[in-house]
Amino acid sequence: MKQNIWTTYSEDQLRELQDITDRYKSCLDEGKTERECVELSIRMAREAGYRDLKEVMAAGEGLKTGDKVYAVNMDKMLALFRIGEEPISAGMNILGAHIDSPRIDVKQNPLYESDGFSYLDTHYYGGIKKYQWVAQPLSLHGVIAKKDGSVEKVNIGESEGDPIFVITDLLIHLAQEQLEKKASKVIEGEKLDLLIGNRPIGEVIGDKDQKEAVKANILQLLKEKYDMNEEDFASAELEIVPAGRARDCGLDRSMILSYGQDDRVCAFTSLFAMLDVTEAKKTGCCLLVDKEEIGSVGATGMHSKFFENTVAELVAMTEGESELKVRRALMNSRMLSSDVSAAYDPMFAEAFEKRSSAYLAGGVTFNKFTGSRGKSGSNDANAEYIAALRKAMDDAGVAYQFAELGRVDLGGGGTIAYIMANYGMEVIDSGVAVLNMHAPYEVSSKADVYEAVKGYRAFLKM
């Protein structure tokens, strides 16, 4: 068992820890989807003096040491840059994390009525244990884009007085056959439809019966609130997530229980560090990406060219247009691919190898490699890079640990690390250990959140 770092803090450090974790919980409450995370991050960045790169380019301005800019992609991917003393082609220090989390998405033709109930048809996103999502209070977040170009934001279930939603489960009295199924089959994907109504349209006794009257009532309510028609679901992005706020966990309030800490615990701590560090030799970058949970694909995933194109713009504005310098900038960069690690859980000790596990309150976690079984699909960081990181962390007084994800022939997983390593840059996975990873509610240690911010600050100053 590694040292519990709570015993190492001074009173001043405990006060800073509390301030950071309070801010972190507020960010979790406000950023439950990738769009909400980007909107929140942009607001925080602008308050810290960052400017939209498009605005700078439109004004015909250049960039100089100390300038702070951001670039956004489809409202679901964000890159922040603070220009350093050295040329960008000499490399950047990059903090990369993903802001999408496992959830349940609403389909494009979702609304239907069945035997007096109205539902939204769904498709789950990312790796989930489906049975964990039933009989839970759920909220609905997202946007409705209409043909006239307007976009309506949706957030139902988070404010006091809002209705909430649920996916129903079979009562225990009738569940003998259900309980004999494998866990992967107890609740199947087509059973994850969201219950949203039971009241038929019409207020007056004796109103003429209407076919699918409950669905008609839901459509009327949507028309009144969002001026939307049923066809507008086709161009809506609606996400179902657990309702409720991030809360302190434990009588000692040492932990945080919340939805979406994979990987927003790394995204928000990276953002905090990026906004804190105002001077450094190398250009600093905080990169927040989408779609990691489904392979980093698509226009807003790490496989897209958004980041590379943005770096090309920065090089052109600081050193002149040069494809070669863009390649040098990417190859000479160093990155922390900040993603969560599986925390050792004594309740499931058989799944872990204790000497190679991450522990809650053990400090920021480094994973030399990820992948599965024989390191398949892994980024494997160089020993020299790890040594440099160890020195930077030690010099800054950061608590850290090295870990793997589960037993050799049992565990494994992937991050965005290998994608960025394709440029030839130094990359290692690093982040915060969590319990209940991919569950509706995950657990992190406040001490690890604090050490992550400290560690990311130190990295940006390397």
Domains defined along the chain, listed by start: 5-101+259-460 (3.40.630.10), 103-242 (2.30.250.10)
Query: In this structure, is the dihedral angle defined by the CA atoms of residues 24, 29, 30 and 34, taken in order, positive or negative?
Result: positive
pLDDT score recorded for residue 356:
87
pLDDT score recorded for residue 353:
87
CB 432 within 8 A of CB 372: no
Q: Residue 303: CA atoms inside 13 Å, Cβ hemisphere, count?
A: 10
Token pair for 152: 């309506």
Burial of 65 (0-12, 13-18, 19+ CB in 10 A): middle
Q: CA 147, 152, 157, 161: dihedral to nearest 10 degrees? A: -120
Token pair for 357: 């596990």
Rounded to 5 degrees, φ, ψ at 185 are -115, -5
Nearest-angstrom CA–CA distance, 242 and 439: 10
The answer for 222, left when phi > 0, alpha when psi is -120 to 50, beta otherwise, is alpha
pLDDT score recorded for residue 379:
82
pLDDT score recorded for residue 381:
87
Nearest-angstrom CA–CA distance, 259 and 3: 27
- Residue 190: CB atoms within 10 A of its CB come to 9
**pTM over cut 0.85:** yes
Token pair for 85: 């003393």
Rounded to 5 degrees, φ, ψ at 230 are -60, -35
- Residue 9: CB atoms within 10 A of its CB come to 15
- Residue 201: CB atoms within 10 A of its CB come to 16
Name the amino acid, one letter, at 40.
L
| Regions of the chain where pLDDT drops below 50 | none
